[in-house]
Structure 1
Amino acid sequence: MTQFITLAGFHTDSLIVTQFTRAYAKDHMLAYVNLVQRAEEKFHVETLTHQKWSGAELIDTMLATITGGLASTSAMGQGNTEAQFKAVATKRKTEEQFSVLLD
């Protein structure tokens, strides 16, 4: 069983990396949005909002405690990926945002 999981993991990693790099060469960050973020959202993949997996909230809390809330940066601040997904209804379509770069 272990060999199958290792083999399957190796090939699935290779497949998505190949697909992504080819699409990225053509579409730049739009390839990331289309191949990764939208698929993660569609299939409810927990790492879509990766900040909670990286410990960002813990680090922000520690930083705020140490600096008395005076830190000028934070991983979970305005503009992070998680906040962007919460505000998606008010944003332009991704294709519109990237159209200037792709033209």
Structure 2
Amino acid sequence: LAAAAKASSSLVPISQARAIAAKVFGGADKLPHRSWNAPRTKEGSYHFRGGVAPALKRVKAFAPYSDLLWLETKTPDLDQARGFAGEIHEEFPGKWLVYNLSPSFNWSWHGFNGFVLQLISLAGLHSTGMRREKELGCDVLTHQKWSGAAYTDRMVQAVSSGSSGTSAMGADNTEHSF
């Protein structure tokens, strides 16, 4: 039971969870039936609750083999980036880190500055180069629309009879920030 208690306090692979369950129930042949496919989404993916904790676990696993360790957050969050860096450098001092600031952020509003390296593939385009287009209400800033994301979403919904759990458009659509 100690192994089961330890496993419940952290994320473990399915193979390890099955081995722990076999110990608890007295052997693999004594395990109750469980469909390992039941927790999948409609698209066939396993559910996953992302966040900083699982990201840190994964980054630390790759740290010994990587030149750079990468972080991208949903919104620009210097406190979150600082915490991430602290956790990494506690175990891997001096490891180089990259903070990818998504091109979807509203850079005029967030105003991040002071970084030596910023990977913002479209920030200059959105914040400076396209300022006039934004003032005129030109829809060229709506990159999801221009890439056909709404069309693709409609096709996925048609093929899945409206039961798809994923889409590119919706309330969290980054175009709403421009």
TM-score (normalised: structure 1) = 0.43
TM-score by length of 2: 0.28
Question: Higher relative contact order by CA 8 Å / sep ≥ 6: 1 or 2?
Answer: 1
Between Structure 1 and Structure 2, the one with more strand by share is 2
